[in-house]
Structure 1
Amino acid sequence: MSRGFGREKRLLTPRQFKAVFDSPSGKAPGKSVLLLARDNQLDHSRLGLVIGKKSVKLAVERNRIKRQIRESFRLNQHNLIAWDIVVVARKGLGDLENAELAQQFGKLWKRLARNRPSHDAEPSPGTSDTPHA
């Protein structure tokens, strides 16, 4: 698996973000942050970031946080197979130092991977996982 962070590893459209927000199959709350995840039926995970001005006032801080989260994701993506992950920033995230961010996200990725239902138990792509009435 490539350890890069190319375009195919990002959530790009509002529709992709909406799918995760509407039906997350995994959550990992942390200090000043929330991770939402959903199965994506791909062989790699994708990352989306929601870091608003209300949560982190200064653009330079928002950009620093995004760089730190992307790097942490890039280094830990081998544990996060087939997730679409959205990181939602909360107030106070901009106050964390880079080392604190790296440590917190390292724990969050592990928690998300640990809470994942067995990857082998997923339905095949041709079957629906919704119950039929």
Structure 2
Amino acid sequence: MKALTFPKSSRLLKPADYGKVFDDVQIRVPHRNFLILATPNTLGHARIGLVFSKKNLKHAVQRNRVKRRVRETFRHQTEYPALDIVVLGRRGLTELDNPTLNATLTELWSRLRKKNRQLQTSSSSEHTGNGKGTG
């Protein structure tokens, strides 16, 4: 069984880590209540950062509940690609109950993996070239 911990190595800790994702977004997974931004990293494992503003979630209790759900679903998923991921909250999150929140996040994680596979296959086909080159 996978250890269900959330170590520092799985988190974006520094503003520069967040800045790297915001400056070089390669994968976007939009949803009515969330926006997931991601960019590949060289660490060999996924890291996650959370951004939930007071504007969208007025009370700390609400922000903390949603952040706990995001972290929990992230930990339970397996086989993440080496990505730096930022999860942004949008309006309307307070109306979602925990089972709905979990189902939404599980679907978003699978969409993220699918988009990453598409990105990897498109970038690998670009590197193979089309037979035209120097020489």
The TM-score, its normalising length taken from structure 2, stands at: 0.83
* Residue 112 (structure 1) aligns with: 112
Secondary structure at 2:55 match in 1? coil
Where do 1:26-65 residues align within 5 Å?
A: 26-65=27-66
Secondary structure at 1:79 match in 2? coil
> 1:41: Cα distance to partner?
1.1
Secondary structure at 2:45 match in 1? coil
Where do 1:1-133 residues align within 5 Å?
A: 3-76=4-77, 78-116=78-116, 117-118=119-120, 121=124
> 1:93: Cα distance to partner?
1.2
> 1:79: Cα distance to partner?
2.9
> 1:4: Cα distance to partner?
2.4
Distance of 1:3 and 1:39 partners within structure 2:
23
Distance of 1:79 and 1:25 partners within structure 2:
19
Distance of 1:94 and 1:37 partners within structure 2:
24
> 1:3: Cα distance to partner?
4.4
Aligned-residue Cα RMSD (Å) equals: 1.9
For residue 91 of structure 2, what is the amino acid of its counterpart? K
The question of whether the paired residues in 2 share the 8 Å contact of 1:45 and 1:85 is answered with yes
For residue 18 of structure 1, what is the amino acid of its counterpart? G
Percent identity between matched residues is 40
For residue 88 of structure 1, what is the amino acid of its counterpart? L
Deviations 1:11-50 (A, max 9, x none): 0111000110111110101121100001011121000000
Gapped regions of structure 1 (runs ≥ 5) = 122-133
Moved over 3 A (4+): none
